[in-house]
A and B are shown apart, each in its own frame.
Chain A
Amino acid sequence: MFKKTFKNICLLAFLLTASHSIAAEFKANGIVDVRLSSNDSNKSYLSGGYGKFSSNSSATLAIPQLAGEFKVLWDNGLSANLVVNSYVENDQSDLGMTEAYLKYKSIPSSSGYRWENRSGIFYPKISLENEAFGWASINTLNSSTLNTWVGEETKLLGTQAKITRLGRQNGNDFDLSLSASIFANNDPSGALLSWHGWTMSNRQTIWQKSRPFPRMPASKAGGMLQAQAKRSNAFLEIDNRLGYQLQFDWHQHKKGKFNIGYYDNRAKPYIVKNGQYGWGTKFVYAGAHWRFNKELQLTTQILNGSTLMQSPDQQDVVNNDYQSAFVSLTKRRKKHSYTIRLEEFSVTDNDSTAGDNNTEYGKAGTFNYTYRYSKPWFLSFEYNWIKSNRPSRAYQNQATDLTEQQYQLAARYFF
């Protein structure tokens, strides 16, 4: 059903592009990110390990992001959007679509109200970091642990209605927006977060691509998780029940913005199809971005939620609460920008499943220096530090308490 919907959306977009009766404009933008990175971590979570960075230890030269955003815009406010991401990095190279949607944006009414509709596959607008082309993070190379997870396990296949009240037409210096989405195909969301914990990279999961996770004793024959497939695909519809997401945005002109929202995939947690379970995942989130002056800006976000996965006889197998929060400060001065970001994250394991301890607590720090060589070229140095306690690392004979560090040099080109 959802595949059909998607096909119909593509067909509609094609027909609209093909019709010459309405003036259309085609736009292609993107990013090329080339990095030299080195870390002292274990096997990366992308390869099914517990390492919190995207590359395995040792120095790596990689293209951790090559992304293109393609849009067709029409005079009537309709646009068709496709975002393609690719990665060339150790054993986890990938290529595919991360977002594809039609968007309608009305012309504001004389009283300043504007309607928007987005239909297709798209991110919930949670992140205040990943606002550049291809969902790249603006001020850092690696996203925060919070937004790394958003990029890994959340995407909505559905439709979103948004109403904005523009302040300009009302004599206010702020805009207010309310949006509501209903979506499908995000039922296994929460599995990877539970099994490898919070991670820190710029890697987004390509639509319909699965990821491996560390094997734990409970996944062996006879264990509670023996029916679970070896890889998790977050973008499946398991129970044919729609989820929803609500968000409120406040945008203070010239000063900053604030968002608060709620996500619930309404997955039935005891249904399993081809080794993929529904995970009842819900969370609240809030964020703020504030410009103190032209040079100094602060970004902060918090996300707090729960996920539940049960056996077919409705016994809790994984029942976790989780939270991640960060505060970052960026100072920009002419061609130089400096960012410091501090984070704290946790997963609380509330179930008693043997051989599957998902408990985690950690702190992270990031320092980024970026030199804007020319308008499109950004040269960056970034240091990431994560100190965490994760008992499940003992399943793979790794230290429960671990400090991981990463150094990166990057050249990012936006077009």
Chain B
Amino acid sequence: MKAGLSRLSLLLLLVLQSSLSNALTVTVLDNKGKALSDIVVYAEPLDQQAISKTDKKLVISQAKKSFTPYISVAQKGNKLAFSNKDDITHHIYSANAKRKFAFLIRPGENIEQPSLETTNEIVMGCNVHDWMSGYLLVVDTPYFDKTASNGSSTLNIAGKGRYKIIAWHPQLNEKNNRIEQQINITDTQQVTLKLNKTMHKIPEQKSEDGFDFLSDY
């Protein structure tokens, strides 16, 4: 009976907590007011609100000779893996000072990487196919997402208080490739981040020659 009660109270607590979490809708617009998709948005607490740690594994694929997805985001402490879906070998690398790596990844191979221990902006390339490029942003918050086709994303933020809301993309023509806004979360609310300048062109990850049998490494 006691156990049942405590279970019930736990359930109630969970329901209460989830109802207490604040759905924050973040919308990113370009400088002309058009919705932008696939922009990383995340919220960083400013009042030492407790944040939970997650145990997610991020998988970045190599498919059709491109990094898929082009932009990835993960929380500090998350696991990282690469998965080659192509029928050719890639030579994946990052020249980032905090996170250097380079390895061959064969067709169909999955390669586990050490966990992401620091916040970072990792630029990845393939040393066989110079046109391939991918980005991974490691943030120190569980509240992150990428905007959908309508330019919006909903972050379920547990605690109230002040947060910094950040939109990031390597081609944002803004300081440090990001725009940010401080907000005070009291209840469900919305925030819109608008770019100051036109975004840079996203490089197309595509082989230039339609010819498949080039002799080059």
Contacts and interface: CB of A to CB of B under 8 A. Distances in A.
Contacts of B95: 107-110, 169
Interface residues of B, number: 30
B203 A168 contact: yes
A203 interface: no
Contact of B125 (A108, A134, A138, A375): A108
A132 B211 contact: yes
Given A77-B102, A108-B93, A29 B213 contact: yes
A79 interface: yes
Contacts of A375: 212
Contacts of B55: none
B96 interface: yes
A254 B103 CA distance: 26
A167 B36 CA distance: 25
B3 interface: no
B10 interface: no
Contact of A73 (B200, B213, B217): B217
A73 B131 contact: no
B214 A132 contact: yes
Interface in B88-131: 89, 91, 93, 95-97, 102-104, 106, 123, 125, 127, 130-131
A166 interface: yes
B110 to A, nearest CB: 14
Contacts of A77: 91, 102, 127
B127 A169 contact: no
Contacts of B215: 29, 69, 83, 131-135
B47 interface: no
Interface in B65-103: 89, 91, 93, 95-97, 102-103
A110 B97 contact: yes
A27 to B, nearest CB: 7
Contacts of B216: 131
A73 B102 CA distance: 13
Interface in A120-146: 131-135, 138
A286 B69 CA distance: 39
A107 B102 contact: yes
A291 B210 CA distance: 11
B187 interface: no
A254 B214 contact: no
Contact of A291 (B104, B123, B206, B208): B208
Nearest to A112: B95
A253 B204 CA distance: 10
Contacts of A133: 213-215
Nearest to A23: B104
A25 B206 CA distance: 24
A231 B96 CA distance: 55
A71 B211 contact: no
Nearest to A297: B209
Among A25, A74, A108, A291, residue most surrounded by chain B Cβ atoms (within 10 Å) = A108
A25 B89 contact: yes
Nearest to B201: A173
Nearest to A332: B210
Contacts of B127: 77, 105, 107-108, 114
B22 interface: no
A219 B215 CA distance: 41
A103 interface: yes
A138 B209 CA distance: 11
A269 B200 CA distance: 56
A190 to B, nearest CB: 26
Interface in B121-150: 123, 125, 127, 130-131, 133
A314 B200 CA distance: 63
A256 to B, nearest CB: 8
A414 B89 contact: no
A108 B217 CA distance: 14
A69 B214 CA distance: 11
Given A23-B104, A75-B102, A254 B123 contact: no
A120 to B, nearest CB: 14
A108 B97 CA distance: 12
Nearest to A135: B215
Contact of A75 (B96, B103, B210, B217): B103
Contacts of B133: 168
Contact of B89 (A27, A81, A109, A254): A27
Nearest to B102: A107
Interface string A39-61: 00000000000000000000000
Contacts of A376: 213
Identify the 7 closest CB pairs spanning chains A and B, nearest first: A414-B213, A110-B95, A107-B93, A107-B102, A133-B215, A132-B213, A75-B104
28 contacts: A25-B104, A25-B106, A73-B89, A73-B91, A75-B91, A75-B103, A76-B102, A77-B102, A77-B127, A105-B217, A107-B127, A108-B95, A108-B127, A110-B96, A114-B127, A131-B215, A131-B216, A138-B209, A166-B130, A168-B130, A169-B95, A173-B203, A253-B131, A253-B203, A254-B206, A254-B208, A375-B212, A414-B212
Given A110-B123, A294-B210, 15 more contacts: A73-B89, A75-B91, A75-B102, A77-B91, A77-B102, A81-B217, A107-B93, A109-B95, A110-B96, A133-B214, A138-B211, A168-B203, A253-B208, A291-B208, A414-B213
Interface of A: 23, 25, 27, 29, 31, 69, 71, 73-77, 79, 81, 83, 103, 105, 107-110, 114, 131-135, 138, 166, 168-169, 171, 173, 175, 253-254, 291, 294, 332, 375-376, 414
